[in-house]
Structure 1
Amino acid sequence: MHHNVRYNCRVLFLNRKILLIRPKMLMANHGIYREMRWFSPWSRLRQVEEYFLPRMIQEVTGQDTVPFGDCVLSTKDTCIGTEICAELWNPNSPHIQMGLDGVEIFTNSSASHHELRKADQRVNLIKSATTKSGGIYLYANQRGCDGDRVYYDGCAMVVINGDVVAHGAQFSLDDVEVITATLDLEDVRSYRGELCQPHMEVI
């Protein structure tokens, strides 16, 4: 809850500190999803507000307030952005503008359920997101049953510049699965540099 509005959020941590609470901006409201029944979309693009943490969280993190809103995380080495679930599927996905603004690593925590050929669509969307403007995409999806009739089918991925370099299992009984990849950010910068070069035709 933020200003008496309920948002579906992703929380980014580092060393027991909350770096950002990122509310979802584009809701899943089709098929089996009824997200608008429970949550409101964050509509303030590129705006961050101060969020006062509950007292029990303050005691754990030592923080009174944290950033809440649409922003990216800049480090000494790179810039990291985040999408949430259905935002990847939207024609105006956040990764588009983030990539144009220099974000090199995109992360997505998802709850995408199993349908025939849907995993293939996810792979193609993520490959396309990084083929167009370069970048590294880290995708994590829930896996398992929700207690009803829906099964979430995993398929965690690491993709760089349109190439899948690590891929998790789609169906498994394991409680936890971790996939890893060692990548070079210079490959992203080189890829983007080639895309930005003017092309000349010889007639």
Structure 2
Amino acid sequence: MKRIIVFALALVSVFSVSAKTEKFGTWIELEFTKEFLKKFEFSIIPDFRLQDDFTLDKYQFDAKLAYEPFQFFEVAAAYRIKTNVKSKKNEVTHRLVLDATAKTDVGKFTPSFRTRFVTYNDVDGERVNVIRPRVKVAYDIKGNKFTPYTRYEMYYDLVNNKLYRGRFDIGFTRKMGKLHRIGIYYRLQHFTEDDQNSFSIIGIDYRLKI
């Protein structure tokens, strides 16, 4: 496990230097979930995003319903209220999020592919439709509660027909009993537009099964 931690820290250092980021953030996500009728799951997910000086930049709340008809496939729908914190007046948007996720086990690896569709009206009343494909690979360490993973996600604007954002993550999760799970990751977020610079994020997430 020590080798994995050292390797992860080394990768964080490399990406932090090579990305030449101008901003750094800390994102905190909490998830409270309840299973019912065996294949259904309802979750409340508050998310808080802090700037490099730890002031609140954005926050959002999701109400999510997931259905797993098969062990390898899941669909979900969520209603999201997202708030951008501004000095004069906060900007609030209401979003519909639709997910479809497929996964399988290949030895100790678990690759997965998720497609996310997000639709909402921005603060100017313009319609925004985004498709977000994401690939992820997790690794099961025998006899260990830590699960390291890496993933990459793209943002494609369906209205303007262009790719405008990407996210690379490396991190791990750890189960704590049957009800609790914590995770930490490093994220490099980059943009295709020349006037937007990439930035680094340290993410912390916690999940509780009620």
- Asked whether the two chains share a fold, i.e. TM above 0.5, the reply is no
TM-score, reference length from structure 1: 0.33
TM-score, reference length from structure 2: 0.32
Q: More relative contact order in 1 or in 2 (CA 8 Å, sep 6+)?
A: 2
Higher helix share: 1
